[in-house]
Structure 1
């Protein structure tokens, strides 16, 4: 059984910028049969121009882009309150990763760690830096 990956905005931005290390990680994850998840709000955070982001669009076709339901949205808001932060997108990433048992790929591990600490879920999601 493979542990799924969940990508935060930094992972999408790395892909959009053509960073080979992130592309390699992603391809290896797919070869391993991992499920790759991206919360829809993360796409909103990274998406700016369809004409210039063709590569990112192709990348997203290989991911499960998941809408955020009301229960996840509420849990993310509560988590922001506990952590003393206003970044609902990062909080959504943490909530979804905990639910899925997923490894979080992010360019901002400190912010994600603040949220995982405030969530107090054991075991906490694993955080990897893009």
Structure 2
């Protein structure tokens, strides 16, 4: 079984900007039938104008957008406190990826390493 992927907001922004490296990672994952997860808060961070983000909208159709439940939200808050950061979206991505055993795809690996 393939390890699932989890995309953070940076990955979504990269797709929205037509980043070739991100597409090169995503296309084979779709072909392989890999589970691709996106925290709903990452969508909130990346989504601004549906008229100009048609590409991102189509991209998200191939992903499982996961709502953030109470326990995940609490764990992300605790992680922020321990890491000394206020970026709850990155912390949420880390918590969700850990729970899924997923690989996080991001355009800002230093931000993810912080949490």
TM above 0.5, yes or no, is yes
Runs of 4+ deviating beyond 6 Å: none
Q: Deviations over 1:57-111 (max 9, x none)?
A: 0000000000000000000000000001000000000000000000001111112
| Mapped partners of 1:111, 1:50: distance in 2 | 26
Q: Deviations over 1:23-43 (max 9, x none)?
A: 121010111221000000000
User: Is structure 2 residue 22 aligned with structure 1 residue 22?
Assistant: yes
| Mapped partners of 2:80, 2:21: distance in 1 | 31
Aligned residues: 115
Match of 2:63 in 1: 63
Match of 2:54 in 1: 54
Task: Could you tell me which runs of 5 or more consecutive residues in structure 2 were left unpaired when the two chains were aligned.
Answer: none
Moved more, 19-28 or 63-72: 19-28
Q: Deviations over 1:43-67 (max 9, x none)?
A: 0000000100001000000000000
Higher relative contact order (CA 8 A, sep 6+): 2
CA RMSD of aligned residues (A): 0.7
Match of 1:89 in 2: 89
